[in-house]
Amino acid sequence: MSNILLVLRWVLVLVLAWLCGKLITKIKMPAILGWLIAGMVFGPYGFRLLSQPVLDAGWYKVIITWMQCAFGLMLGTELIWSRIQSYGRALIVTTLTQSLGTFAVVSAAFAIVLSLTGYPVWLAPAFGGIALATAPAPALSIVQEFHTKGPVTDTLLPMAVLDDIVGIAVFFTVNSFIASQVSGGAVPLYMIPVMIFLPIGIGILTGIPAALLLKKTAGNRAGTLAVLVAGITLTAAVGLFFNKVVFTNITLNYMLMGVSFSAVFSNRIPQRQLEETTDWFHPILGVSLLAAIVDLGAPLDYHLILGAGLYTFLYIISRAAGKYFGARVGAKATHMPVTVQKYLGLTLLPHSGVSLIFTGIICNVLAASRPELSTLVKGTIAAAAVINEIIAVIAAKRGFELSREIGKANASA
């Protein structure tokens, strides 16, 4: 099948996903749920409009990489230094309690069940390492769609960045531990700081000239968008170079590149210009989020829902408990607003894309010498990703509703 036909099929799926999103909003659900379901229904395990050859195509991976950088830009615009200073300690503490708390709860739950079912207990941290990361795209999509504003929104967006950093550090440490148990290959521990700081460094490097150019294009919509598109393209290209040529055995985080790229110029241009810039970028962000959510849904096999068993439900429940109560403990200990203490945890539940990437890495380590453990991990997380993501989107929206932040961005405009 020609690349042109594959591109047209992908575009058709995006249009269908957008329509599904519009339909699902009629029953007061977030459009992202329709996008996610469309990805599953039209993906490789459904009608195959978005077939595996599309997902494996080089052009598709490059476009998705670009869009990951693009929605990272929206998170980076929240990292204004003066604003971070006002809740810096509380943000860091709460990020650590919910991330490490999730790792501890999930690992402990699986340690108990694995010991009772005859599997090695050392496999338990693999589930904990996969569980602690949060996918920012679903929550960001809800923030954009429902125009949320308030303490929960202000805490969630920068926390998504910090959570990714903690997730990378913990997961690859666990991955090295698992590899030592099965004598398989893994990323050396000294590479973990590289995986965290290299994407940030790439974004900073491209963000500095972008900031200088944006100062010159103030008030010029076409010029501003040209600088942003060129900056994102350069950032993604540099990241792809390091990922494909320099470090061929690791996967860099392109969202972090986009975050650091935009954080640089966000702190170097006037607030008024930054607000104008984000408004102009909003249509590009919307398409990027749509494509990213469809991409999250496509690899999910909804047939697995019927075969979900004990391990899948244990994973979903223990992860939700770790996220919710971890966030609540941290927020309460640092005297964050009551709405953050009560409802932040609900907005942290989405994570399918991150979980599938981490699962693939762990399973590659296990496959050679312990294929039965690889099958266990893959089956558990694949089924959990489908069920959890549908529940998580609904829970995230409910969290914003209960905190009464929906529509507040428009009210304050």
**410/413 Cα distance (integer angstroms):** 5
Does the pLDDT of residue 300 top 70, yes or no? yes
Are 252 and 239 in contact, with CB atoms under 8 Å apart? yes
Rounded to an integer, the average pLDDT of 216-227 is 95
Does the pLDDT of residue 105 top 90, yes or no? yes
Confidence of residue 164 (pLDDT cuts 50, 70, 90): confident
DSSP E strands in 61-156: the ranges are none
Structure tokens at 105: 């709860």
**116/344 Cα distance (integer angstroms):** 34
Enumerate domains of the chain plus CATH numbers.
Answer: 55-412 (1.20.1530.20)
Max mean pLDDT among 21-25, 143-147, 202-206, 375-379 falls in 202-206
Residue 403 per-residue DSSP state: T
Position 75 scores a pLDDT of 77
Rounded to an integer, the average pLDDT of 393-400 is 92
Lowest average pLDDT, out of 11-20, 27-36, 257-266, 396-405, goes to: 27-36
The residues, any chain, with a CB within 8 Å of residue 216's CB and separated by 6 or more, are 223
Position 305 scores a pLDDT of 72
**114/108 Cα distance (integer angstroms):** 10
Question: How many residues are there in the chain?
Answer: 413
Does the pLDDT of residue 86 top 70, yes or no? no
Give, in degrees to the nearest 5, the angle at Cα 39 between 36 and 43.
155
Position 1 scores a pLDDT of 61
User: How many other C-beta atoms can be found within 10 angstroms of the C-beta atom of residue 248?
Assistant: 8
Indicate the burial class of 167 (C-beta count within 10 angstroms; 0-12, 13-18, 19 or more): buried
**30/26 Cα distance (integer angstroms):** 9
**359/349 Cα distance (integer angstroms):** 17
Max mean pLDDT among 230-244, 301-315, 360-374 falls in 230-244
Lowest average pLDDT, out of 65-79, 144-158, 272-286, goes to: 65-79
Could you tell me the pTM of the whole model? Answer: 0.81
Are 34 and 23 in contact, with CB atoms under 8 Å apart? yes
Lowest average pLDDT, out of 74-88, 258-272, 317-331, goes to: 74-88
Does the pLDDT of residue 57 top 70, yes or no? yes
**pLDDT digit string, tens, across residues 247-283:** 776 678 888 899 899 999 999 999 899 999 999 999 9
Q: What is the 3-state secondary structure (H, E, C) of 247-285?
A: CCCCCCCHHHHHHHHHHHHHCCCCHHHHHHHHHHHHHHH
Position 82 scores a pLDDT of 66
**116/312 Cα distance (integer angstroms):** 16
Does the pLDDT of residue 185 top 60, yes or no? no
**In percent, how much of the chain has pLDDT > 90?**
50
**182/60 Cα distance (integer angstroms):** 34
Rounded to an integer, the average pLDDT of 163-179 is 85
Lowest average pLDDT, out of 70-79, 87-96, 181-190, 326-335, goes to: 181-190
Position 218 scores a pLDDT of 92
Confidence of residue 160 (pLDDT cuts 50, 70, 90): confident
Rounded to an integer, the average pLDDT of 93-108 is 96
Position 183 scores a pLDDT of 62
More confident residue, 78 or 134: 134
Indicate the burial class of 56 (C-beta count within 10 angstroms; 0-12, 13-18, 19 or more): exposed
Confidence of residue 405 (pLDDT cuts 50, 70, 90): very high
Cα R_g (the chain), whole angstroms? 20
Confidence of residue 413 (pLDDT cuts 50, 70, 90): low
Does the pLDDT of residue 87 top 70, yes or no? no
Are 84 and 161 in contact, with CB atoms under 8 Å apart? no
Max mean pLDDT among 230-234, 258-262, 369-373 falls in 230-234
Structure tokens at 369: 């010498």
Mean pLDDT (the chain, rounded): 88
Confidence of residue 157 (pLDDT cuts 50, 70, 90): confident
Are 321 and 346 in contact, with CB atoms under 8 Å apart? no
What is the SS3 assignment for 412? helix
Position 123 scores a pLDDT of 95
